[in-house]
Each structure stands twice: as structure tokens, then as C-alpha cells.
Amino acid sequence: MTADNKSIIWIASYPKSGNTWVRFLACNLLFGPQDSAAAFSQLAPDVHELRELPRLLAPRMLMKTHFQFSERMPLASETAGAVYIVRHPADVLLSNFHYSQRSGAKGSDERGALDRYVEQFLGNRGDPRWRQLGMGTWDENVRSWISAPLPFPILTLRYEDLLARPMVEAARLQQFLALQRTAAEVARAVAASSFERLRAIEESDIAARRVGIFYKPYLQPSIRAGRRFMRAGRGEEGRGTLTERQRRLTAEVFAATMQACGYEAAISSPALREGT
């Protein structure tokens, strides 16, 4: 990958598509295994949490974004490249639902809350909160990064492929970042980015009340109720949780973009059958 005198490599995605996972993986490949969310946030800051835009002094700087790409996006003119993570929209929907519930304790009618959220998500083609913040619908976000011709190189990673073959996808990432890592070094980076490892970091941050990605004081009721940022780390969970009607509507609403990303826009596979 060539930077052409530009500094930022975006780690980009629609919310709840695996951005934190890939940021940890990229930092582990670039800087060695990370053991704190605070250090990780310094190495790959979140553009949505910056009070002011950084001075771009380093030749290469990782930065997270959930914005859909446009020339109006903050620091768009400094883009050297991007890694875009895409995830099946049914799983994105379910993960966003659980994320939306983190600000409170668990309710007694979680299924009813999920059903209402599904209708809202599908009716708006994504979470309306994210659209208001410049992230677009799920379709708009994905296509803005991977469909339109862009003036910089981009690597697309699918969440499901990262789960199924992490070493292969990590090797693709290190090649894109122009790194030269041995197989053993890639394996260490993958292990240091596992769901179990990130959950351990989250629990450590919660225990120490270190404010950052995983812990914020206002989340205490949700934390006491057992809700976590690193919640499941699985594929096809949304498709197994949604009803047959909800799965069918998801496929209908997002069919074109799903197919562009290599997802089958159908509900006929065994993984999508009722009750699985």
C-alpha cells in the first residue's frame, strides 16, 4: 500500500461490525500485543471521540471511523488507505440492538424490545441514530467504501471470514499495511486479538474502572446486569435469533448490498431455519 504523502489509514465499518476487533488486530501487528484499551485508543484513535482533530505528524496513523465515506468526512483529504469491515446485516442488527440496551439494566420484555427494534432498523435500513450522525444506512455506509471508485487503496474484510480463517485474513491485513511479519508474529497478533483476550481486557477495565472503550461510569447499571461490549463474538447469531419473517424482511431490504458483499440474500440455508 502506498500513502502518497497522506497519513491516515481508516479502520472503517458500520457500527457493530467488528471494528474494535480489527483495530486491536492491526495494532497488534504494527506495535506488538496490546494489553490495555487506553494504549490501544492512543495508537488507533476513534474519530468520533476526539475533542479536536490530531496533528498528523506520523507517516502512518490508524484511525477508527463509522462515517460513510465522502469528501465532507473529517480528515477525508488525509486518507492514505482504508480497511473496511463488513458483516451480515442480520448480525449487525442484533449486535446494534444489544448495544442500544447497554445504557440500562435488563428489562423483563427483551423479546418485545428486540421485535420493536427490528421493525425500526429495517424501516430505516439501519439504526436511525447512526444516520443522524453521518453514518448513513447500512447500505449507504457499505457502498460508500467498497462500491464507489475511491482515490486510495482499500482492503475489505468480512467478519465471517475473520472468524473462519483468522490467520489468512490477518496475513491479508499485514500485507495491506506493508508489514513484514513472520507466521509466528501473525499468530501472536491473532491470539492477542481473540474474543477471549478482548473480553479479559474489558473485565480488567471494568474492575479498575478505567474509562474508555469498555467502561464508562454511566454504564454501571448495565454492567451490573451483565451486559458487555464484547458480548458474543459469533457469526450467524442474528439469523438464528430473528424470526422467519424478520429474516425474510432483512434479506429483502438489503438484498442488493448483501449479494455485492458475497452474502446469499435468502433464508433457505440450514443456519437460517427456525429455532437454530
Q: The domain that contains 193 carries what CATH number? A: 3.40.50.300
| pLDDT tens series, the chain, 276 aa | 544 577 899 999 999 998 988 998 998 899 888 777 777 778 888 888 777 665 655 567 899 999 999 999 988 988 999 999 999 999 999 888 887 776 554 555 777 888 999 999 999 999 999 999 999 999 999 999 998 789 899 999 999 999 899 999 999 999 999 999 999 999 999 988 887 787 777 777 766 676 666 655 555 656 665 565 555 656 677 677 889 999 999 999 999 999 999 998 654 443 333 332
**How many domains would you assign to the chain?**
1
Q: Taking Cα atoms as reference points, which of 169, 170, 163, 158 lies closest to residue 33?
A: 170
Residue 42 maps to a domain: yes
| Owning domain of residue 38 | 8-272
Which residues, in sequence order, are CB contacts of 218 under 8 Å at separation 6+? 103
For residue 215, is it within any domain?
Answer: yes
Residues whose CB falls within 8 Å of the CB of residue 219, separated by 6 or more in sequence, listed in order: 102, 103, 227
* In-domain check, residue 3: no
Q: Does residue 143 lie in a domain region?
A: yes
Residue 1 lies in a domain: no
Q: Cell numbers at residue 44, please?
A: 488507533
Whether 32 is in a domain gets the answer yes
Residue 62 lies in a domain: yes
Of 27, 9, 255, nearest to 142 by C-alpha is: 255
pLDDT the model gives residue 33: 83
State the distance between the two ends of the chain, measured CA to CA, in whole angstroms. Answer: 42
